[in-house]
Homo-oligomer: A and B are copies of this chain.
Amino acid sequence: MFPKGFKTAGARGGISKKKDKKDTALFYSEFPCAAAGMFTNNLVKAAPVLVSTEHLKKSASDIRAVIANSGCANACTGERGLADARETCSYAAKKLALNQNQVLVASTGVIGQFLPMKAVKSGIDILLGSAGSGPENFDSASRAIMTTDLIPKVSSAQVKISGKTVSIWGCVKGSGMIHPDMSLPHATMLAFILTDAAIDKKTLASALSAAVENSFNCVSVDGDTSTNDSVFALANGASLCSKIKPGGRDFVLFSQALGKVCLELAKLIALDGEGATRLVEIRVMGAGSRADAKKIASTIATSPLVKTAIFGNDANWGRILAAAGRAGVAINPSKVDIRIGGLKVASKGMALNFSEAAAKKILTQKEILITLDLNMGSSFCSYYTCDLSFDYIKINASYRS
């Protein structure tokens, strides 16, 4: 069930150079929303990131809409870029009879180019005329934010809170320049999460922060952190459930559902990563701390040698262990066990006489789990990535031109 009180749309304003590609999206709530945003930690922050941060500071209990565009990142565009992002908000605000601080903005596409404001406005005009509630409109919005993505990425969950059905729907775009590192009031992944839960901005931010840390902040396509990464969560209370308070059972239920939506979206990003043929989960266990486990998992997940080996169906566990050894965490290599799927390929840092045929069979599957047990402690982290294929090169050697 689509969250109550939300209308969404996707339209073509003419920003994207790809013919007929939808390039503007609207996420609109009929009621004021508690809102939370998490943004890139890259020091090079796009104008929409700065403007949305500003608006969240002023109006996080009273957000009504988000305008998103693909085709232009509005990053490295200086004062003019900031003015353009503000104008996007105020143009939509005026048409919707809102204050401009009630509108958030997000962009993805080429860095270093100015937003074609005429196309942006024409997109907004069409969006306002076509917005509707329901999955079809949300699907249209999720397609409008795609760049090199091949599939629209949508996930949803439902949870009962005080007898009412609360819905959480999210969509995300992101295929390249994917290595989100986001923190609160601060990814080019863009995610939009709509829910009709009743929750205040602080509690929503706390639930979102936990969900993002275990999902979007644990996915990498190419190790390049974007200037535009953003996750927005809007909660409008239209389910009429009782207010979700931090710490209680309702909070746990809501957080679990939100976590499920974010994790599904994050996995879809890796599966649809530029040139990806496989979704790979790197699970590091037996670590001294989750931070250590994440550092190692992230290093393995971004190793070009590991990723090309997976593309080649090669059980080259030596590359996996070598990547772990350079992660900057004090591990004892002679304690490390490595599994590919259920097959143990290395024990105590040394080769096992495993069946290459069995390994190849596992590696040709669409989803692959690689497990490292450091045998040092009890902390763990799962990190999601994809293989590195010829198509990644093809896509990125010619993206801008």
Contacts and interface: CB of A to CB of B under 8 A. Distances in A.
Interface in A46-78: 73, 75-78
A286 interface: no
A324 interface: yes
Interface of A: 41-45, 73, 75-78, 110-113, 176-177, 179, 181, 222-227, 302-305, 308-309, 311-312, 314, 316-319, 321-326, 330-331, 333-334, 346, 348-351, 356, 388-390, 392-394, 396-401
Nearest to A317: B112
Given A45-B325, A76-B346, 10 more contacts: A43-B326, A111-B316, A111-B319, A112-B321, A176-B305, A223-B304, A304-B392, A314-B397, A314-B399, A316-B400
- Judged by DSSP, the binding face of A is loop
| Count of this chain's copies in the oligomeric assembly | 2
Contacts of A75: 318, 322
A305 B76 contact: no
A337 to B, nearest CB: 12
Contact of A225 (B77, B302, B318, B322): B322
Given A227-B322, A303-B223, A113 B309 contact: no
A76 to B, nearest CB: 5
Contacts of A322: 42, 44, 75, 111, 177, 224-227
B113 A326 contact: no
Contacts of A181: 326
Contacts of A312: 396-399, 401
Given A111-B321, A351-B112, A388-B393, A326 B224 contact: yes
Contacts of A227: 318, 321-322, 325
A319 B350 contact: no
A222 B346 contact: no
